[in-house]
Structure 1
Amino acid sequence: MTKRILICLLTFMVLSCTKIEESSIPFANVFLKLDLAFQDKELLTLFSYKEYTKPRYAGEMTGFSGVLVVHGNDNYYAYDLCCPYEAEQSTKIVSTNAGIAKCPKCGTEYDISYGAGNPMKGPSKFALRRYNVYMNGQELIVRN
């Protein structure tokens, strides 16, 4: 019985000391109101995307490197444009085709069509930073 307790304690100590890697992208506020009826209507097309790198209106905030909004398979998704592997504000992912974004510096490709933003190919182990997207009539609200 004491062997089991000792083994459990040792296992707990080893696991609790293991450092979990996290992306070093700094937190930045995001708030966008997108008008699907007029100004942002190109997002109505399936697999369309649009980048927002600067606020267009007072009160808008575009995250650390900007926001990529994607009309995916079953919903709208939003990601920070910063590559989590590079974690530099100036290194922005680029959408290459339907459902894939790529970092021009490290070459990591990310799946952006289903909302996870997971790396598919390349050195990154981190998913893209994802933001919440809410539908409100003809508006999309993107925020964190």
Structure 2
Amino acid sequence: MIQQIKLPLFILLLFTTLSGCVKDSEDIIPNVRFHAEVLNFETDPNYNQQNPQIIRRDRNGFSIGHYGVAVYKVGAGIVYAFDLMCPYEKSGTSLVQKQDDDNYKCPTCGSTYSVMTQYGSLLEGPSKFALKPYRAEIDGNHLIIAN
């Protein structure tokens, strides 16, 4: 009798475990490999010196992220960088735009995100995901962004 109960229970647990590990690849922004360096990040007039700011190209003119990144400087040598593509809309026509000093908003779906946290947290809207983060660091007067 115990043997008969164990097998269905094992199959149920196995199915539950496997189905919980499946990712819905439609819900995340595809990964784009890049390593970008922005020279004279702190002083170059090409960068607007606002916080946060949008950077679309590196020092060699190559694209950064999908359609650019929002960079938020937290303090001495600490920066956060996020892709501008809305993770809900997932298209080049739905780029998050600066709403105020700390938040970006998708004009299409209305989702609002915070760029002043290292996670690009979703504040409100239909999206289920935060903004796609990238590794960012300041090395001297250079900003390095990569994934």
Q: TM-score, normalised by structure 2?
A: 0.79
Shift of 1:5: 6.0
Stretch moving more, 124-133 or 71-80: 71-80
* One of 23, 30, 33 as aligned partner of 1:26: 30
Conserved 8 A contact 1:33-1:139: yes
- Report the CA distance shift for 1:36/1:65 in structure 2 as closer, same or farther (over 3 A): closer
Instruction: Determine which structure has more spread, i.e. the larger CA radius of gyration.
Output: 2
Structure 2 unaligned segments of length 5 or more: list them.
none
**What residue in structure 2 maps to residue 42 of structure 1?**
49
Shift of 1:8: 4.0
Identity in percent = 25
Q: TM-score, normalised by structure 1?
A: 0.81
Conserved 8 A contact 1:70-1:76: yes
**What residue in structure 2 maps to residue 51 of structure 1?**
54
Structure 1 unaligned segments of length 5 or more: list them.
none
CA RMSD of aligned residues (A): 2.4
Shift of 1:7: 2.2
Shift of 1:26: 2.5
2:99 is paired with a residue whose SS is strand
One-letter identity of the residue aligned with 2:127: S
Stretch moving more, 16-25 or 123-132: 16-25
State how many pairs are aligned.
139
- Report the CA distance shift for 1:59/1:12 in structure 2 as closer, same or farther (over 3 A): farther
Conserved 8 A contact 1:108-1:119: yes
One-letter identity of the residue aligned with 1:118: S
